[in-house]
Amino acid sequence: MANENLESKRWFIALAGVVIMLILGTVYAWSVFVKPIAAAQNWEVKVVARVFMLIIGVIGISAAFGGILVDKKGPKFVATLGACLYGIGVLLGGVALHTGSFWFLLVGYGVIGGMGNGLTYVVPIATLIRWFPDKRGLITGLAVMGFGFGAFFIGMIIPGLINKVGVANAFLLLGAVYLVICAGAALTLKNPPAGWLPKGFKPAATTVSAADSFSWAEAHKTRQWYMLWVMLFLNVTAGMGLLSKLSPMAQEVIKFAQNIDDPAKLAVLGGGVLATASIFNGLGRLFWAAVSDKIGRKGVYMVMFLTQAILYVLLPQVTSVLVFTIIACYLLSCLGGGFAVMPAFAADSFGPTYIGKVYGFLLTAWGAAGVVGGFVFAEFNKQQSLYAAAACLIIGFIVALMFQRPKHVSHYKTAK
């Protein structure tokens, strides 16, 4: 009976985790706010866009600290703290826009909001990995799929909300909603009892068990941890770079293929391609994670790296809007898939016991890649940036090909 109760409880916790990730994923909707903020405050668009680079960088760094805390303080404490900081950060963003202070927007939304988002991000993933050792790929895919869809849902809501209440008040309303919902869901999170396993489940020999898990002190001494960091960094660099310029690239193809010169119409059509591809950013997280349960995490990364490299090389020659959209959907599905598969990849390699810290530090690759990918696609022309992304992915394929699961050798046995 106790096991049946825990079986039901883990799915309830999974639902709470997905809700949290949906709220956190709204950070990806920043582009929806850029022009309204620039117009309301008389700031340059490129200056407002820098807020996104800051918050992504802060999220990546903060996720590492979230991983440290979740292993020490437990998921409820860390997730609640992070949820409160993220909600407060969005509220402070609204205050900054009311006062017209760009620096306060950077500190309130970019730094405080980013810290809260990053602290919270790792918690549902680390918690669900422990509750679902039998479905690691699927459950982490569901969690990060929520993150991918957060931007889509908020992108559908925000334009109308801004038209009704203004962009500053929209921030205040969203901050209040995020604070209540995310903190409420965070309070339900907890780890399973020590040694608990789902009924009938036996860990595979190809993964590291809870009892033999690597601590952070052990994990970061292995070359495999750095290989996982590089794989995540390279995949996200290509994907985030493309995401940052996808609408302008789509508009270029649409202008050539359909002979449209109206900037407003091109912007709408380009935004449609971006919105469509963003759906696959979410769906890809679930799809690739589920596939990784069948063919392995290494196999999925190798497939994603190789196929993406080929498509990035071909993309500059594409003149069909339909073909361009299909390729964009696939490439963003791989961006999402990389995020979805990596938590399970890390847990398979280093075990679930200290996964919060081990995986949390891996997420520094996300912050670094967000900055590097955005810089490459901003500073180089279309063909150069796409070829640079392809080169990154080829290197990633080689790293994935060389990866072998680490072994717990005696000199790694340090104090935990």
Q: Is residue 197 part of a domain?
A: no
Indicate the residue among 169, 186, 203 that finishes a domain.
186
Angle at 293 between CA 287 and CA 297, to 5 degrees: 90
User: Looking at the domain assignment, is residue 142 inside a domain?
Assistant: yes
Of 186, 206, 233, the residue at which a domain comes to its end is 186
Task: Give the pLDDT of residue 409.
Answer: 55
In a domain, 198, yes or no: no
Co-location of 106 and 253 in the same domain: no
Query: Are 282 and 150 in a shared domain?
Result: no
Q: CB neighbours (10 Å) of residue 206?
A: 8
SS3 at position 343 = helix
Give the pLDDT score at 207.
61
- pLDDT confidence of residue 290: 86
Report the chain's terminal Cα–Cα distance, integer Å.
Answer: 34
414 within some domain: no
223 in the same domain as 170: no
Do residues 242 and 327 share a domain?
Answer: yes
Q: Are 366 and 225 spatial neighbours (Cβ–Cβ below 8 Å)?
A: no
Cα separation of 201 and 289, whole Å?
19
- Based on the fold, state whether residues 242 and 388 are members of the same structural domain: yes
125 and 263 assigned to the same domain: no
Whether residue 176 is found in the same domain as residue 289? no
Domain boundaries, position 383: 216-406
| Residue 108 is assigned to a structural domain of this protein | yes
Q: Report the candidate in 90, 92, 75, 79 with the shortest Cα–Cα distance to residue 178.
A: 90
CATH code at position 123: 1.20.1250.20
Q: How far apart are CA 363 and CA 194, in angstroms?
A: 26
pLDDT for the residue 209: 60
The answer to whether residue 275 is domain-embedded is yes
Q: At what angle do helices 321-350 and 136-165 cross, to 10 degrees?
A: 130
In a 3-state reduction of DSSP, which class is residue 92? helix
| Predicted TM-score of the model (pTM) | 0.76
**Domain identity same for 34 and 149:** yes
Q: Do 228 and 181 sit in the same domain of this protein?
A: no
Q: Is residue 175 part of a domain?
A: yes
Among the listed residues 25, 23, 18, 232, the one whose alpha carbon sits nearest the alpha carbon of residue 139 = 18
Same domain? 225 vs 179 = no
One domain for residues 293 and 344: yes
Domains of the chain: total:
2
Q: In angstroms, rounded to a whole number, what is the distance separating the alpha carbons of residues 324 and 318?
A: 6
Which pair of tokens denotes residue 349? 């390699």
Residue 110, SS3?
helix
Q: If we measure between CA atoms, which residue out of 230, 251, 234 comes closest to residue 382?
A: 251
Distances (CA, A) of 302 to 127, 223, 231, 258, 313: 27, 18, 10, 36, 17
Q: Do residues 230 and 349 share a domain?
A: yes
pLDDT of residue 416: 37
pLDDT at 135: 80
411 assigned to some structural domain: no
Ranges in the chain, pLDDT < 70: 1-4, 203-211, 264, 267, 408-416
Token duo for residue 274 = 């971006």
